């Protein structure tokens, strides 16, 4: 592995791409520490030291921004507006036929959908920055902190902060696209990877600082290693459905007669169901922050939905992950469409008739595989909560199964891309 890295850096073209990618990631991290104009940065630092940060939704955004959200920096929103916009555009393919037509048009249609995603990202950035600033002004961004984190609450200052955070989101989107075009790997995924890994040292430090710190850190590291191994094993696993293409004559040439397969991953939905479930569960908690503490509905939300270790929270979280896993898989993989394409080009699954029986067989396979994949996602997502209860910690872990899932997935994909580029230059590569 180390020798493969050395060969990658000895290749001039690949070395330039790797150094360019590292430079963009460094710029992204520097921007996470530049405070937004109008923010009382000393008070923000004091509040971060006193409190562990806000609702689950804000905690999720803070993780994806590499801690920039709670610092109210220029890159406070991180990559979340782009992720949300991409998911919305993908879901709208089911509702808006025009989007489905663009998706099937190839590169030109994909470019148009990308443009729509950019516009929606800016709109969501304006909405989310306004929400974050309003939450900060109301004192709900930090728990148990009464300091004013915004120095001046005038309209001009608020408007300047919204413009700055929105511009920061646009810059992050541009940096991610630069990595995709001129660097190595998917730019947006690598920026998320950078944000999550940046929060790991502080997270380990908070665990060591508590009681039984050495014992907790040993157990935590052991669980992380086991989870990484499980994630690598499952993410690399796939069900290969065999496909046979019949021979056909076109003019004087014979085509077809080849055998291939349809690769179906166990976890086709990725981390999307976990993000959706976390966001939906955090909305009632965020609303309760602005309600009267003595109200019955506020107390119920605080005791059941705001507490990750609550049985109600755990049950709803698991059910939402299961639902979104099946829902998102049904959108991204259409058995009827796959069966029609196979029939059009003379393909069939051995032992299964072409057309409707093939679609029913693929639907049966997808349902069984998604059942196992959804349970796997539930286990990975609940690991932080189970660790908090088992170790007796007084605060939530700043990282967990979801973060590891993203990191391992991005790492595997990046290594594959570097490996393919090495093999193009007649090197051995990373993977064997």
Residues 171, 288, single domain; the answer is: no
Mean pLDDT of 90-102: 82
Domain membership of residue 425 (yes or no) is no
Residue 385 sits in the same domain as residue 312: yes
pLDDT mean over 241-253: 74
Give the pLDDT band of residue 218 (cuts 50, 70, 90). Answer: confident
Report how far residue 278's alpha carbon sits from residue 270's, in angstroms, rounded to the nearest whole number: 14
pLDDT in tens, 367-380: 999 999 889 888 88
Asked whether residue 418 is assigned to any structural domain, the reply reads: no
Q: Residue 257 has what pLDDT?
A: 65
Place of tokens 């990191």: 407
Give the pLDDT of residue 211: 58
Check whether 145 has a pLDDT greater than 50: yes
* Assigned domain for 367 exists: yes
Q: Are residues 181 and 60 in the same domain?
A: yes
Query: What is the rounded distance in angstroms from the CA atom of residue 328 to the CA atom of residue 317?
Result: 16
**Residue 180: count of CB within 10 angstroms of its CB:** 16
Whether the CB-CB separation of 50 and 219 falls below 8 Å is answered with: no
Cβ–Cβ under 8 Å, residues 54 and 141: yes
Q: How far apart are CA 42 and CA 322, in angstroms?
A: 43
Looking at the structure, do residues 185 and 249 belong to the same domain, yes or no? Answer: no
CA 423, 424, 425, 426 dihedral sign is: positive
Residue 54's pLDDT band (cuts 50, 70, 90): very low
Domain boundary among 199, 217, 250: 199
User: Under a CB-based contact definition with an 8 Å cutoff, are residues 76 and 65 in contact?
Assistant: yes
Angstrom distance (rounded) from CA 313 to CA 307: 7
The model's confidence at residue 55, banded by pLDDT at 50, 70 and 90, is: very low
Task: Tally the domains of the chain.
Answer: 2
Residue 414 confidence (pLDDT) above 50 = yes
Q: What is the pLDDT of residue 430?
A: 56
> How is 292-311 classified by DSSP, letter by letter?
-TTSHHHHHIIIIIS-TTSH
Do 257 and 318 lie in one domain? The reply is yes
For the cut 60, the answer to whether the pLDDT of residue 316 exceeds it is yes
Give yes or no: residues 50 and 152 share one domain. yes
Do 133 and 280 fall within a single domain? no
Average pLDDT score over residue span 340-366: 86
Q: Do residues 80 and 272 touch, judged by C-beta distance below 8 A?
A: no
Domain-terminating residue out of 152, 171, 199? 199
Considering the domain boundaries, does residue 419 fall inside one? no
User: So what's the pLDDT on residue 341?
Assistant: 84
Q: 58: which residues sit within 8 A by CB, 6+ positions away?
A: 69, 70, 132, 135, 141, 282, 286
* H helix intervals, 210-295: 213-236, 272-288
My answer on whether 256 and 372 are in the same domain is yes
Residue with tokens 């605080």: 302
Enclosing domain of residue 280: 209-398
Q: What is the CATH classification number for the domain harbouring 188?
A: 1.10.3370.10
The alpha-helical segments, DSSP class H, found in 138-270 are 155-182, 187-198, 200-209, 213-236
pTM: 0.76
């Amino acid at each position: 592995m180390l020798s493969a890295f050395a060969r990658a850096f000895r290749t001039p073209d690949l070395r330039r791409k790797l150094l360019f990618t590292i430079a963009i990631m460094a710029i992204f991290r520097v921007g996470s520490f530049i405070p937004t104009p109008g923010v009382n940065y000393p008070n923000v630092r004091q509040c971060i030291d006193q409190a562990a940060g806000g609702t689950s939704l804000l905690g999720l955004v803070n993780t994806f921004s590499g801690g920039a959200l709670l610092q109210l920096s220029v890159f406070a929103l991180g990559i979340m507006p782009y992720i949300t916009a991409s998911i919305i555009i993908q879901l709208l393919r089911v509702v808006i036929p025009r989007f489905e037509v663009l998706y099937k048009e190839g590169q030109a249609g994909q470019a148009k959908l990308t443009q729509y995603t950019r516009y929606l990202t800016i709109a969501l950035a304006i909405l989310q920055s306004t929400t974050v600033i309003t939450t900060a002004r109301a004192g709900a961004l930090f728990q148990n902190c009464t300091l004013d984190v915004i120095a001046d609450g005038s309209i001009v200052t608020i408007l300047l902060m919204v413009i700055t955070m929105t511009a920061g989101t646009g810059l992050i989107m541009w940096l991610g696209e630069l990595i995709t075009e001129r660097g190595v790997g998917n730019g947006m995924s690598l920026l998320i990877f950078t944000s999550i890994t940046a929060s790991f040292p502080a997270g380990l430090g908070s665990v060591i600082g508590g009681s039984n710190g050495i014992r907790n850190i040993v157990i935590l590291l052991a669980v992380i290693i086991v989870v990484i191994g499980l994630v690598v094993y499952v993410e690399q696993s796939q069900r290969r459905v065999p496909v046979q293409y019949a021979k056909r004559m076109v003019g004087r040439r014979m085509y077809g007669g080849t055998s291939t397969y349809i690769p179906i991953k166990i976890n086709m939905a990725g981390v999307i169901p976990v993000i959706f479930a976390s966001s939906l569960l955090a909305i009632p908690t965020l609303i309760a922050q602005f309600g009267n503490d003595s109200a019955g509905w506020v107390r119920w939300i605080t005791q059941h939905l705001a507490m990750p270790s609550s049985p109600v929270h755990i049950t709803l979280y698991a059910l939402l992950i299961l639902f979104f896993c099946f829902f998102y898989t049904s959108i991204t993989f259409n058995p009827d469409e796959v069966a029609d394409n196979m029939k059009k080009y003379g393909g069939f699954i051995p032992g299964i008739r072409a057309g409707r029986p093939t679609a029913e067989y693929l639907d049966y396979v997808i349902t069984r595989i998604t059942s196992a994949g959804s349970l796997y996602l539930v286990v990975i997502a609940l690991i932080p909560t189970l660790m908090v209860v088992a170790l007796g910690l007084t605060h939530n872990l700043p990282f967990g199964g979801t973060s590891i899932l993203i990191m391992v997935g991005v790492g595997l994909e990046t290594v594959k891309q570097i490996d393919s580029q090495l093999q193009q230059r007649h090197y051995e590569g990373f993977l064997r």
